[in-house]
Structures are given as C-alpha cells and as structure tokens.
Structure 1
Amino acid sequence: MKNRALLLLLLPPLFWAGNALLARATAGDLPPVALAFWRWILALVLILPFTGRDLWAHRRVLWAHWRAVLGLALTSVAAYNTLLYLAVQTTTAINATLVGTSLPIMVLLLARLWLGDPIRPRQAMGMVVSIIGLLAVVTRGEPARLATLTLTPGDGLMLLASASWAAYSVMLRRFPIPVKGFTLLTALIIVGWVMIVPFYLFELSLGYTVQVRPMTLGVIAYTAVCASLLAYYFWNVGVAALGAPTAGLFANLIPLFTAVLGVALLGETFAWFHSVGGLLIFAGIGLATLPRR
C-alpha cells in the first residue's frame, strides 16, 4: 500500500507542473479567475455522471461534516489554483518555485500543531536535502542568482497559495469524511466553484474575457482532467496512506517536472543541474519516507 501511494504521489506534481506551465503560456488569452472557473465546470461535468448517485446517497454524511467540506473546498478548489494563476501573472517561474519551497515546511508545522505528528530527524533531513536539490534546479546551478531575485505581488500570492494547499493537506487527515474519494472531490468542486463565481463576475466586469481558441480550450481540458480530477484524487490517496508531511515533500518535484516538460515541449536543454537537483530531491523524499526500524 505504501509503495503504491508513493508511486501515485509522483503524478500530481507532474500534472501541476504542466498546469503552471500552461497557465503562464496562455496568460494573455486566459484570465486567471476565468481559467479556474471553467476548469472546475468542465471537471464537474465529467465527474458528476459517475458520482452523482453516490453523492446524493451520502448527502446527509456530507451535511453532517459541512464545516470540513467548506474548509476543504475553500483551501483547495477555490483558493489554491486561483491564487496560483494570479501569481504567475506577475512573478517569474524561479520566484514562484522558490516561494513554493515553503509548502513542505508549512505542511510539517501544521501537522505538528493540528495532528500532533512528531517531526522526525530523518523527515527534517529529507526536507533539507530535497530543498537543496530544488534550489539547484531553479538557480540553474548558480547560487548567486538568489541575490538578484526581486519580490513581486505574485510572490505574495504564491505564498498564500502554498499556505492554502498546506492547510488542505493537513485538514484531509484532521477532518476525515467517510465517503469515497471521487464523491468527496465532487462535493468539493461544487462548493469551491460556487465560491469562485463572485470573483469571476468581478473579473468579467473589468473587461477580462477568454479568447476562445484551440490552445485555450486545450488548456482548460488539461487542467480539468489532469490537474483537477486525477491530481486531486492521487494526492488525497497519498495523504491518506502516508500522511501530510511526507506527501508535502513531493511538491518539490514540481519545478523538476516543469524543467523536464520545458525540455520536451519547448526544446530547452537538459543540463547537469537538472540531474543533480533531481537526484537530491528524490534522495530527500527517500530519506523522509524510509521505514523506521
């Protein structure tokens, strides 16, 4: 079960790397809130025929846990991706990735405060090794690049996005809801989408509209299927099996996968620092997930 969960946790960072890459690539054609709005509508249309009956059958269970449902929907569906899309409008990939390194630390601390999970030495060491690998990737093997970074409003939004996802990851364990994974996801999509609606209407009032093109439609489809339904389900399975602190370390794979996708899709060069950084990230995850004697 643990090995299966570890393998499944490799997929969300891969899907979210593509999510961030495509959001940056279509920033002028897909307004940030509109992308969040339409991706969740499409995700709901795709999943509801398979989960609608079970969702109705468990309506009383979900209502009994309405506070948890609201919190989970707010921090995941409504806040995280919307803040991410807003962040990449005004910040660079390097800045966003560096700010994202706070996610595993936030998860570890929240799990300690809310769940009483101990911070094991190997867990802390694994986090440090993983972050060093992450820095090797985003600085392209040149630590001096860190001194030239400038903060933007997008960096603050990315920090809020990381805090939101950390809270969601810990709440999954803190407030378990006894329904199937995809059924819970359907409920979160419905509630979270309703939360997004006012912000989407406000964005429309400012004159921002979606440019309907094959590229934008493809991005919405990708974010709905891969970055929404599949990624969320696999992440939830991983958190349930391994705990939020361990799952949080896998977020450090996002910049590595972004670099790999850049090589595959944009023709960028795969350099030595990608290999070194990737090895360190995986080594840190392996150290943190090593079974205790």
Structure 2
Amino acid sequence: MAVTDRARTVSHTEPGSTAKKGAAGLGVLLALLATVVWSGSFVATRGMAETVPPVQAVFWRWIIALLAVAPFAARQAWQQRALIRRHLGFIAVASLFGVALYNTLVHQAGLTTSASNMGMIMAASPVIMALYARLGGERLGARRTFGMLLAAFGVLLLVGDGSIGFDFGAGDLWMFAAALSFATYSALLRRKPAELGGLAFLITTFVLGALMLAPAYAVSVSVQGGFEVTAGTVGPLLYVGVFSSAVAFFAWNKAISVIGAARAGIVYYLQPVCVAGLGFLLLGEHTGPAQLLCMALILGGVGLGSARR
C-alpha cells in the first residue's frame, strides 16, 4: 500500500513540477528574445538619428506596430472592451511610460550618444526597478544595495569618460530619463489586472501611446518638415515597429507575467553586451578598455542587485 501511495504521489507531483520548469524556461527565453531585439533597436535608432526626427520616428514606429499586432490582438481587445474601459486609467499610465515617453527619450538620446552608451546606461534600469521594490516595502539587503551602488558607479564612469563627475552629455541624460521611464513601466506591469489578456493590453497601450504622440508629431512635421522615404529610413522603422515594438513588448510582458520582473531583469542585463557587439559590427563603434570596465561594473552591480538576499 505504501509503495502504491508513493507511486501515486510521484505521478501527481512530477507533471506539475515539469510544467513549472517548462514555464520558467519559456519565460527566460521570452525575456532573452525581447532583450536581443531591443539591443538591435538601439543600433537602428542610432542609425537613423540623422535622417528621421525623433518624434516622427516614434510615432511611425507605433503606427507600424499597430498594423503588425492588430490581426492577432483586435479580436481579444473587442471581447474585453468592458475590462479595458474599467482599467483605462492604469492602461493609460502604462502607455505613457512604456510607449510614448520611453521610446521618444531613446530616439532623442540617439542624436548625441552612441548605441553602446545607450545600451549600457539602460542596463541600470533594473536597479531602478529594485528601488521601486524597496519603496513598495520589499527589503533589499546589503548585497542588493551594494550591487546598486556598484552599477551606479559604473554608469557614472561611463558617462564621465572614465572619471567621476557630472559633466554628462545630453544624450546620456536622455538615456537616464529613458531608463527611469522603462523601469516605471516594468514596475507597473506587476499590477496589470490578471483577467486582462496580454494581446488586448498590448494593442490598447499602442493605440493610446500613438494618440499621445499625435500632437507632438504634428508640431514636428510643421516645424522640421517630414523625412525622406528611402530604404535607409523605412528599413529601421520597420524593424523598430514590427520587432522592437510588437514582438519584443509582447515577449517582455509575457515573460514578466510568467517569471516576474526580477528574473526577467536578470536576462535584461545581457543587453549592453548585445548592443556593444551590434554597434561594432553594424556601425563601426569602438568599444575600448574603459567601456569594457564600465560594462563589467554595471553587469556585476546589477547582478548583485538582483539577488533576493
């Protein structure tokens, strides 16, 4: 009887354990997919910085993203329209930080800083996520606090060209603001209503974000004029619209729902390495010893900062 009961216990526990491991693995892969795709978006953003005004680039990015995601998400959004109306305030705030502000700040930063710097400064955003957790009542502990300080030191060295100071370039400051906006968006995702479908949430944030950007887009066109439609402008816009927006945002949102922001953030730490490599291969940006040291400090710091104890 004991053997039979044990066999029954094993048969009941193993499938559940396997399912949890499988879900965790899927979550990590989705976070990795989003991280790699977003790394490419920094390179694409930097590449079209001189040809497409930032606000116009971001506006068309979300129009393209809407067209890409609509065939898959429109039906769910219509079915959950009552839920969307009920939680419209929350979705609007998420749209502001994750869609309208974050990407506009990234494109603005691309005018005056390198793709490598953009990626490495963004690597500090998980530290900001940890600060949000502390404000929410979560204890960070000495190890996590030391990790945040180490990452902050690495960022200061990076933007100070190897010395500690406050002579930041304009692009670096824009990227600091982008990191804060992205961290705020990621923290908000933890409060997304569970009953609201991922695709419905995604397409609604895209719509609201595009509407928020529309007035600024109109001003940009009237003041700066439009941009020339060429392969050099359309190609990067298609990449950031389809992959960096529709695909990566869905993958990131799903990853957080499966494994949580902390574990997804650990994967996000790989971004500066990906950006530096892509920047070197596609834009010819040089990564010197000082940048490698800063990268090591930032990655080491955010790795420690992600520790639970």
User: Per the shorter chain, which TM-score range?
Assistant: 0.7 to 0.9
CA contact (8 A) 2:54 2:104 kept: yes
Distance 2:257 2:228 in 1: 39
2:212 to 174, 195, 198: 195
Task: Give the TM-score normalised by structure 1.
Answer: 0.82
Give the structure 2 partner of residue 50 of structure 1: 72
CA contact (8 A) 2:119 2:275 kept: no
Task: Give the TM-score normalised by structure 2.
Answer: 0.78
Q: 1:96 to 1:5 in 2, by over 3 A?
A: same
Give 1:247 shift.
3.0
Count matched residues.
287
Give 1:250 shift.
3.9
Alignment of 1:241-280 (within 5 A): 241-266=258-283
Amino acid at match of 1:54: Q
Give the structure 2 partner of residue 118 of structure 1: 139
**Larger mean Cα displacement after TM superposition, 150-159 or 209-218:** 150-159
Point out where structure 1 has 5 or more consecutive residues left out of the alignment: none
Q: 1:229 to 1:124 in 2, by over 3 A?
A: farther
The superposition leaves residues 206-256 of structure 1 with CA deviations (integer Å, 9 ceiling, x where unpaired) of: 123222101211111100121101111121122223333443344432221
Distance 1:36 1:291 in 2: 36
Amino acid at match of 1:168: Y
1:14 to 17, 36, 41: 36
Distance 1:276 1:99 in 2: 14
Amino acid at match of 1:264: L
The answer to whether structure 1 residue 208 and structure 2 residue 230 are counterparts is no
The superposition leaves residues 178-233 of structure 1 with CA deviations (integer Å, 9 ceiling, x where unpaired) of: 22212210010001110010110111111232221012111111001211011111
Larger Rg: 2
Percent identity of equivalent pairs: 33
Give 1:286 shift.
6.6
Give the structure 2 partner of residue 174 of structure 1: 191
The superposition leaves residues 23-55 of structure 1 with CA deviations (integer Å, 9 ceiling, x where unpaired) of: 111112111111111111111111112211111
The superposition leaves residues 129-179 of structure 1 with CA deviations (integer Å, 9 ceiling, x where unpaired) of: 77788899x69xxx9734588423333322221111111111111343522
Look up the SS of the partner of 1:10 in the other structure: helix
CA contact (8 A) 2:122 2:175 kept: yes
Give the structure 2 partner of residue 70 of structure 1: 92
CA contact (8 A) 2:114 2:285 kept: no
CA contact (8 A) 1:130 1:284 kept: yes
**Larger mean Cα displacement after TM superposition, 7-16 or 32-41:** 7-16
Give the structure 1 partner of residue 3 of structure 2: none
**Larger mean Cα displacement after TM superposition, 267-276 or 79-88:** 267-276
Amino acid at match of 1:43: A
The RMSD of aligned alpha carbons is 3.2
Amino acid at match of 1:189: F
Give 1:280 shift.
7.6
Alignment of 1:226-237 (within 5 A): 226-237=243-254
The answer to whether structure 1 residue 33 and structure 2 residue 55 are counterparts is yes
